Structure 1
Amino acid sequence: MTDTPNRRTVRIAMNGVTGRMGYRQHLVRSILALREQGGLPLADGTVIWPEPILVGRREHALKALADQHGLDASNISTDLDSVLADDSVDIYFDAQITLAREEALKKAIAAGKHIYTEKPTATGLDGALALARQARDAGIKHGVVQDKLFLPGLLKLKRLIDGGFFGEILSVRGEFGYWVFEGDWQPAQRPSWNYRSEDGGGIVVDMFPHWEYVLHELFGRVETVQALTATHIPRRWDENGQAYEATADDSAYGIFQLAGGAVAQINSSWSVRVNRDELVEFQVDGTHGSAVAGLRNCRVQHRSATPKPVWNPDLPATETFREQWQEVPDNAEFDNGFKAQWELFLRHVVLDEPYSWDLLAGARGVQLAELGLKSSAEGRRLDVPELSL
């Protein structure tokens, strides 16, 4: 890190920022947003100043990004090895496709860089644990993106949990997904590799790591998993308009038993049309109250205000059930979730503040995805062993 009296510059090699997530959420809405606000202020009056080095395979695309955002043209590279050999680089960040990530992270750890990475961290549990052990042995700091925890809706839900609103939590029901166009008559909203298992695609690999940390952090460790996967749309069209056979799952239906006794059921699908308020929603039911949390909003119904529905299929419903819920107020300003976690990781690197979302936490997500796929293939419920290094 380069220091001046009022600024501590942290140089970050950002690999994969020409992709949708790496560009929009990590480069623009996190690192560049921090620079636009003047850096990340510390209690002693100094600021952390993130300096991105854009790394990728396509030099012209990297140059275009640098020009667009006023970044120094010298801070782009298509040679990852030379970037990692640069002692002035403090952090390596990875937002590449999954198949390329594990090897790049190994190199970065071997080069002594602190690690911040998208998930899944590896293509299998053995690889994910090996990365965590390598990072531990190297004595570097490491973090894994777990952005859903920083969504306004889930932050409100966490506030309710911490305040004892639910009493005993009984169950969690999650619905995630939307219709991803097949690519023939309208372009798909997701890259074609997502639908090829040989390229690391599949909704279980993509979303089960998210569900692991959401459940783990808010409700309890996942102890068992039972999943059923499907490839509902077997034929799609890629970015060049060429038809291909989808070999990866595009939908997954999971039941998770949690430590403490609660049961979670989460449906994930890229072949479902949305009939809910947000693209992801979690309903939490407890003995004292219930809540429905999405990306931004959270609604509650306390037991004292719970109506008394009576099942009668011969008469139309006279109650407007949605109107019987109360909106949870913001009571705070919520920043972009990716940016909020970047700030915590930068403080962890510079100030050695505590940070729990590390490569071991990332390995838990890989483990759940691996066991979810195995559960579906074998048609049975599987235990989820607790991990350690």
Structure 2
Amino acid sequence: MATQRIGIIMNGVTGRMGTNQHLVRSIVAIRSQGGIALPGGDTLMPDPILVGRSEHKLRTLTEAYGIERWSTDLDACLADAEDTIYFDAQTTTRRAEAIRAAIQAGKHIYCEKPIATDTATALELAQMADRAGVKHGVVQDKLFLPGLLKLKRVIDSGFFGRILSVRGEFGYWVFEGDWQTAQRPSWNYRKEEGGGIIVDMVCHWQYVLSNLFGRITGVSCLGTTHIPERVDEQGQSYASTADDAAYSTFEIENGIIAHFNSSWAVRVYRDELLSIQVDGTHGSAVAGLRECKVQSRVNTPRAIWNPDVPNPINFRENWMDVPDNGTFENGFKAQWELFLRHVALDEPFRWNLYEGAKGVQLAELALQSWAERRWLDIPQLAGSREA
């Protein structure tokens, strides 16, 4: 039994998401558990080198989490043949250039979404990776959430009968930064820096809907900037040039209608920050980040609209929990392990850069729909392939 090292260049993990989800809860967690068990008794051990622009931040992270290597020189890291994977969690506007360089250096690619700022560039990256013969993947973390894994189990069981519609509510109040510090970085609210909730969240809804329900064929989207001025990390006021809320409707190829409200300017009155309700002829389900509840046809109460008397029904009483029936890993960690096994063992991994390009395409068309105030069809991407 031997330990197989796998070197990973991790670029952009000094940011909130990169540090918490990809470094600490994924790579550090995998190292802490002793690596990934392989067939035959060997162990696959990730060996990251952290790359970024801030020497201070990199030193702090390596010292805090027992990482031995860091660098501010991406080109030098890409030139090292011992590190075979390039991971990118930078801001979107910086991603494509770095991925191109990594592909040219022969690195396997794993990256955050959106993979690019426009569909043409996203598709170019996927095709470039194919030509180079490198493996590639994109983070699609919400597919690995306990609540959505339970929902997938319910779908696969046939519980719903014919699925009719999907309703999604996502968001929370992000403080403006004046009297309380904002929970999100200021670039999220600057269109010129790749910000905006449509660019950020519609990519998520693309892979959630297509993986659970089918290919999206049409979109209508209305975006807005509810909070026109915010305060940045330096305490300076700035104009919000990007959308902070989006109200989107999607048509799915099998007749399902899906509507998602996404907002960073909404106060939460639901069980979780994400709530997805699925209604079918034989039953319904409500799934969040961790929980999933169902109501079957025989448990559906007879609701009657009568505003003149108090409502006699406690509607929540007729819903049942979907049990865990297993242990759920952190979603980012679970997908990291699958990608590392894909690189080391050539095991299947279908969430490739083409899937990432579909997310960019849907976000781009949602922005176009908003600008033109009309429905748009979603064409299949030329040159895309299934993994």
Does the TM-score normalized on the shorter chain lie above 0.5? yes
Q: Which residue of 1 aligns with 2:64?
A: 68
CA distance in 2, matches of 1:196, 1:102: 19
Q: Secondary structure at the match of 2:165?
A: strand
CA distance in 2, matches of 1:64, 1:196: 28
For 1:269-348, what aligned pairs fall within 5 Å after superposition? 269-348=263-342
**Is 1:132 aligned with 2:123?**
no
Residue identity opposite 1:140 in structure 2: V
Pick aligned residue for 2:175 from 159, 177, 181:
181
Residue identity opposite 1:192 in structure 2: S
Pick aligned residue for 1:44 from 28, 40, 50:
40
Q: How many aligned positions are there? A: 383
Q: Secondary structure at the match of 2:260?
A: strand
**Is 1:29 aligned with 2:30?**
no
List alignment gaps of at least 5 residues for structure 1: none
Residue identity opposite 1:55 in structure 2: V
Q: Deviations over 1:342-370 (max 9, x none)?
A: 01001100110111100000000000000
Q: Deviations over 1:254-301 (max 9, x none)?
A: 000001000000000000000000000100000110000000000000
Q: Deviations over 1:157-196 (max 9, x none)?
A: 0001111011110000000000000000000000000000
Q: Secondary structure at the match of 2:41?
A: coil
CA distance in 2, matches of 1:164, 1:349: 34
CA distance in 2, matches of 1:26, 1:248: 26
Identical counterparts, % of pairs: 64
CA distance in 2, matches of 1:266, 1:161: 19
Pick aligned residue for 1:78 from 61, 72, 76:
72
**Is 1:12 aligned with 2:8?**
yes
Q: Deviations over 1:40-69 (max 9, x none)?
A: 001210111001100000011101111111
Q: Secondary structure at the match of 1:308?
A: coil
Pick aligned residue for 2:51 from 55, 67, 71:
55
Q: Which residue of 2 aligns with 1:387?
A: 381
Q: Secondary structure at the match of 1:292?
A: strand
CA distance in 2, matches of 1:187, 1:141: 40
Q: Secondary structure at the match of 1:301?
A: strand
Q: Which residue of 2 aligns with 1:152?
A: 146
TM-score (norm 1): 0.98
Pick aligned residue for 1:366 from 357, 360, 364:
360
- Report the aligned-residue RMSD: 0.6
C-alpha deviation, 1:388, in angstroms? 3.6
Q: Secondary structure at the match of 2:220?
A: strand
CA distance in 1, matches of 2:47, 2:169: 38
Q: Secondary structure at the match of 1:90?
A: strand
List alignment gaps of at least 5 residues for structure 2: none
* Segments ≥4 residues shifted beyond 6 Å: none
